[in-house]
């Protein structure tokens, strides 16, 4: 397969998969939590980072600290995230999921995984194996870059 076609397919998949994820997020009971997709991504990142400071989280999400502060204000207000100051440097603010935030992320991950599995099961076993091999190879290549998951 020519490189140009492959890059086009990867780009197209990225766009389509993002749209599919947004649709899943909005069409299932996921919307009952009154979270935007970007807020869920923040919760998911905090879950993976455990306890993090604003700089870590802003870097992870690739947004400014100001943008992250605005997003976090809503998540704190809704009880998904809690903030705490560093005892050594009160200017450093740490964020972590509350019990409610942990539960919501777990619930949403499970719902999205079920939807993804239902979609993948539409493919035959050989196609699933080929996709698994391709995704594993791509994951390995990109893992050395910015990917943390």
Residue pLDDT, tens place only, 71-114:
999 999 999 999 988 788 878 889 999 999 999 999 888 888 99
Domain segments of the chain: what residues? Answer: 32-143
pTM of the model: 0.77
CA dist., res. 14 & res. 11, Å (int): 5
- Which CATH architecture describes the domain 32-143? Orthogonal Bundle (1.10)
Rounded to whole angstroms, the Cα distance separating 71 from 45 reads 13
Residues 6+ apart with CB under 8 A from 93: 53, 54, 83, 84, 85, 86
- Please state whether 55 falls in left (phi above 0), alpha (psi between -120 and 50) or beta: alpha
pLDDT in tens, 34-66: 788 888 889 999 999 887 888 889 988 889 988
Which tokens is 25 given?
């997020």
Cβ burial of 129 (10 Å; 0-12, 13-18, 19+) is exposed
């Amino acid at each position: 397969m020519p490189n140009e076609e492959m890059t086009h397919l990867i780009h197209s998949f990225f766009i389509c998969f993002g749209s599919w994820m947004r649709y899943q997020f909005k069409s299932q009971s996921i919307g009952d939590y009154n979270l935007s997709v970007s807020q869920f991504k923040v919760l998911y990142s905090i879950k993976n980072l455990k306890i993090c400071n604003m700089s870590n989280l802003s870097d992870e999400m690739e947004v400014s600290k100001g943008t992250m502060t605005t997003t976090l204000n809503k998540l704190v207000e809704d009880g998904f995230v809690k903030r705490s100051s560093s005892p050594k440097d009160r200017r450093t603010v740490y964020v972590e999921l509350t019990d409610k935030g942990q539960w919501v992320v777990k619930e949403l991950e499970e719902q999205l995984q079920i939807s993804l599995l239902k979609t993948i099961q539409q493919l035959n076993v050989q196609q699933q194996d080929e996709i698994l091999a391709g995704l594993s190879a791509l994951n390995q290549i990109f893992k050395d870059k910015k990917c943390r998951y």
